[in-house]
């Protein structure tokens, strides 16, 4: 997902009877659905895990602007350009909501940027794939934002107040993202054979990376179990992936496209699709920094941050000057 394979520091899940009184009260509050707020006591591992998860999520929103930004200047019409600009601006907003939520846990914005730019922090594997044609912009909205929605809707109920509230704002905006993507593709498949071919090609390239967004099966993962006990994760990776496939395949059929999975088959008994296994070695390569665009994405982030330094400094200097002038005139009165 936008935060993939988040570590929790847990070796195993503690029972209530093994916790000290403070932690027991904390866990019971979570069990009864209460929200945890910034200044309240929380286990150090909960705090650290949330910082990892929220900052990774924020980095994904920010880096996620880059593949789409690639097409802003080449959108086929002025209207499509305006729509894409608005969509990408939303993603910047999502990043900002989430950075603020993470900051309430005691990490600074600059620390998070440093972690991203040094390569220490991760962001979603999906944004390390290139956007080769306009159809890719449609595929991203439809599939990538679609997958993100699957994951973000349950996170609106997560136990940490600021994260849950950021998720509510984000979810309100995501449905526009998915629809504008689907709309691009729906238009293109009704166009020339070449346009339809572009759409099929985009689906062929984005299908498996989209399924990988949910991360490998985590049914046996202690980190996942701990995150669920803390209610900062609500569903297993496989559950969400299944939901995504079940929702998306009929949409692909509507578009007249072929999902590039020979094992894809409706399973009447389970009321869902059976489907093939993504190539997890590819996923781990991308996560390790060896995807097709990892270097390009990080390079673009570092350059943007570096090139903006003089501007940020200028605004700070201006603010300081104005404040000093005001203090002086107050003193003179």
Partner 1 sequence: MSSEWPLWEVFIRGQHGLNHRHVGSLHAPDAEMAINNARDVYTRRNEGVSIWVVRSSDIVASAPSEKGPLFEPSNSKVYRHPTFFDIPDEVGHM
Binding site for partner 1 (CB under 8 A): 37, 39-41, 86, 89-90, 93, 96-97, 100, 103, 108-110, 165-166, 169, 173, 309, 312-313, 315-316, 318-319, 322-323
Say if CB 216 and CB 189 are below 8 A apart.
Answer: no
Give the three-state DSSP class for 267.
strand
Minimum distance from CB of 57 to Fe ion (Å)?
A: 9
- Out of Fe ion, partner 1, none, what residue 177 binds, judged by CB under 5 to 8 A for its kind, is Fe ion
- Under the criterion CB under 5 A, does residue 145 sit at the interface with Fe ion? yes
Nearer to partner 1, 268 or 310 (CB): 310
Minimum distance from CB of 321 to partner 1 (Å)?
A: 10
Minimum distance from CB of 106 to partner 1 (Å)?
A: 13
Nearer to partner 1, 100 or 300 (CB): 100
Nearer to Fe ion, 155 or 229 (CB): 155
The DSSP output letter for 36 is B
Nearer to partner 1, 42 or 249 (CB): 42
Minimum distance from CB of 146 to Fe ion (Å)?
A: 9
CB atoms within 10 A of CB 328: 9
**Exposure string (b/e) for 211-241, b if CB count within 10 Å is 16 or more?**
bbbbbbebeebebbbbbbbbbbbbbbbeebb
CB atoms within 10 A of CB 288: 11
What is the C-alpha separation between 190 and 19, in angstroms, rounded?
61
Q: Segment 44-63, which members bind Fe ion (CB under 5 A)? A: 61
Tokens of 9: 């520091």
Cα angle, residue 27 at apex, residues 21 and 32 outer, rounded to 5°: 125
What are the angstrom distances between the C-alpha of 132 and each of 58, 72, 136?
A: 25, 13, 7
The DSSP output letter for 27 is H
- Under the criterion CB under 5 A, does residue 94 sit at the interface with Fe ion? yes
- Out of Fe ion, partner 1, none, what residue 122 binds, judged by CB under 5 to 8 A for its kind, is none
Minimum distance from CB of 93 to partner 1 (Å)?
A: 5
What is the C-alpha separation between 75 and 17, in angstroms, rounded?
59
- Out of partner 1, Fe ion, none, what residue 323 binds, judged by CB under 5 to 8 A for its kind, is partner 1
Nearer to partner 1, 304 or 323 (CB): 323
Nearer to partner 1, 57 or 241 (CB): 57
Kindly determine how many residues on this chain lie close enough to bind Fe ion according to the rule CB under 5 A: 6
- Out of Fe ion, partner 1, none, what residue 318 binds, judged by CB under 5 to 8 A for its kind, is partner 1
- Under the criterion CB under 5 A, does residue 177 sit at the interface with Fe ion? yes
- Out of Fe ion, partner 1, none, what residue 103 binds, judged by CB under 5 to 8 A for its kind, is partner 1
Tokens of 174: 């995501």
Q: In terms of Cα–Cα distance, which of 303, 260, 265, 292 is closest to 278?
A: 260
Nearer to Fe ion, 177 or 196 (CB): 177
- Out of Fe ion, partner 1, none, what residue 279 binds, judged by CB under 5 to 8 A for its kind, is none
Say if CB 199 and CB 257 are below 8 A apart.
Answer: yes
Give the three-state DSSP class for 262.
coil
Tokens of 52: 């990892």
Cα angle, residue 54 at apex, residues 53 and 59 outer, rounded to 5°: 100
Residue ranges binding Fe ion (CB under 5 A)? 61, 91, 94, 145, 174, 177
């Amino acid at each position: 997902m936008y935060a993939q394979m988040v570590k929790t520091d847990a070796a195993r899940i503690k029972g209530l009877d093994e916790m000290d009184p403070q932690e027991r009260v904390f866990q019971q509050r979570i069990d009864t659905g209460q929200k945890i707020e910034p200044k309240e006591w929380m286990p150090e591992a909960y705090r650290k895990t949330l910082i990892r998860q929220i900052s990774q999520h924020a980095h994904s929103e920010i880096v996620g602007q880059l593949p789409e930004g690639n097409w802003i200047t080449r959108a086929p019409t002025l209207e499509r350009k305006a729509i894409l600009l608005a969509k990408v601006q939303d993603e910047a907003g999502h990043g900002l909501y989430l950075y603020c939520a993470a900051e309430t846990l005691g990490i600074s914005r600059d620390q998070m940027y440093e972690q991203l730019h040094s390569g220490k922090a991760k962001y979603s594997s999906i944004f390390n794939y290139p956007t080769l044609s306009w159809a890719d912009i449609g595929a991203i909205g439809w599939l990538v934002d679609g997958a993100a929605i699957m994951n973000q809707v349950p996170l609106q109920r997560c136990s940490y107040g600021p994260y849950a509230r950021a998720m509510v704002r984000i979810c309100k905006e995501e449905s526009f993202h998915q629809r504008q993507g689907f709309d691009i593709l729906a238009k293109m498949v009704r166009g020339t054979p070449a346009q339809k071919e572009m759409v099929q090609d985009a689906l062929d390239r984005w299908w498996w990376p989209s399924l990988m967004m949910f991360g490998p099966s985590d049914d046996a993962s202690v980190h996942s179990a701990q995150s669920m006990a803390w209610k900062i994760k609500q569903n297993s990776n496989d559950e969400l992936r299944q939901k995504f496939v079940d929702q998306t395949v009929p949409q692909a059929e509507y578009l007249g496209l072929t999902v590039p999975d020979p094992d894809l088959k409706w399973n009447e008994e389970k009321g869902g699709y059976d489907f093939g296994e993504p190539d997890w070695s590819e996923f781990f390569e991308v996560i390790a920094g060896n995807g097709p665009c990892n270097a390009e994405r990080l390079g673009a982030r570092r350059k943007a941050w570096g090139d903006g330094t003089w501007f940020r400094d200028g605004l700070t200097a201006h603010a300081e000057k104005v404040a000093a002038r005001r203090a002086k005139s107050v003193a003179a009165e």
